[in-house]
Structure 1
Amino acid sequence: MTVGIGYLDGPRLARGFYAAADWVAASRDELNRINVFPVPDGDTGTNFSLTLRAVADALRALGDASLPDTATTAARAALLGARGNSGMMLAHFLIGFSEGLNDRVTADTEVVAAAVRRGADALERALDEPREGTILTVARDAARAAELAAAGTPDIGDFMRRLHHEAEVVLAKTPEMMAVLKEAGVVDAGGKGFVRMIEGFVRAINGDPILPAMMPLEGEAVIPAAMAGFDAERDFQFCTEVLVRGCPSRPPTTSGRRCTASAARWWWGSQVTS
């Protein structure tokens, strides 16, 4: 069997993040338009894009580096640069992904699949009230697809293309999992941002250009989310992130404890509560 890309290393991971940041940025308006959960405030695309931009900027400042250093830098940048709910959820995933690489200098498809699984698990553990039909569902099913793909191919490119395909499949099912999405005629914006991120990696592998703008798919709603005519859950209308520097002797006992401990893992002498 001919293998196009047999392993992931630091520079390859960084190039993937550069493309992912650009591709999500090109999709920003599209993601904002379909943002109806948890609040239809039309900012998921902006928040997801800015979080990935923080990752890309940090990796460019780092330069070519080892896989562990690159992954750790990406996770730390996502944590410190997270914007909104979607950005913080992405940070949780990337922290788990970084840990899942286990300081490998290079990673084959099986190691990458294990890291994706670790990222999805970290994200799920961070949530006090996990909801199906969100980025959580997409990440978890992507992890399952990654494990199956790794068993079938040693080629990183083929592996990522299979992963992207399965992520698209589960994303299309999110309206059936959440009534607010079905009523609005859209898929979950955070989940779609996650899929666009994977797609950016695939485009980097394929050598495909990053288009300046993304148009909505045929039949997809284009009403700005903030103007969507349906009821949404409004009990909590504000999203707040707090970065606490220092190293307390024990985790906080607030309702954000699980989120905090999972997100920061006591890394870098900091914690995050959201």
Structure 2
Amino acid sequence: MGVLKRILDFYIQSSIHVALAVFAFIRVTEFLFYLLPNPYTAGFGFFGTIVGYNFVKYDALARSGRPKMSTRLKLFIAVSFVAFWGAAYCFFHLKPLTQIVSGLCLLVTAFYTLPFFPNKRNARSWSGLKIYIVSLCWVGVTVALPVLDAGIDWTTDFLLVSAKRFILVVVLLFIFEIIDLAWDDPHLKTVPQQIGVKNTKKLGVFLLVIFLLLELFQLTESIPRFVGNIVVIFTTSGFLYFAHEKRSRYYSTFWAESIPIVMWLVGLVFQRIF
């Protein structure tokens, strides 16, 4: 059991699980816009997420002087190194406009992580900003990239899907912020820190209702998609309702982060049935 736990911890901490969630969201976008699967946008999203998330998580450690290079840290660096070359390979197979958008997402990640200002504070330390930066990056990578690379115009459908994806990621981040309440710096001013856990859950449910209303605007010839989104809304609501600061971090970092993968699997099932 100890070996399985170590493998699971490495899988989560090396950002492979969150990268799979991004990959799944890209596949969901392809379902929504009836796109052929594109291995390069999906691959760039997967590998780029590993690089980006590991950069955010371990950059401060690397710049702290001479960090102790444990075996686990060396493995994280190895995974990130392989992912970097995977992301680079996929990047050069993207269309020029898609490359520009992906470059902007990279720039936002760097801005979020590195201290560009004299006080050496990065955007990550700005009160209340983290959740919106992360959500925008997810929308950029999982919606804008596959749509742009397919040569599809940014129509009303694109805006609605982007808005729904932003809402869903924000609500998922609410779950993370509730679980991390005991560890987060009070100066971060996360949503639960500012309005409390109970009100955060109410706000999350309200946002999911908006998600559902936006879905109604896209119901034309897509009842299966609507049913799939109902499943996702109830699943997300359940995770949000039962979240509290004494929960294990696996609750958010593994289970809640699996919701995009559930969306993808539901999409695959409906694709086969209909």
TM (normalized to structure 1)? 0.39
Q: Which has the higher contact order (CA 8 A, sep 6+)?
A: 1
**Could you say which structure has the larger radius of gyration?**
2
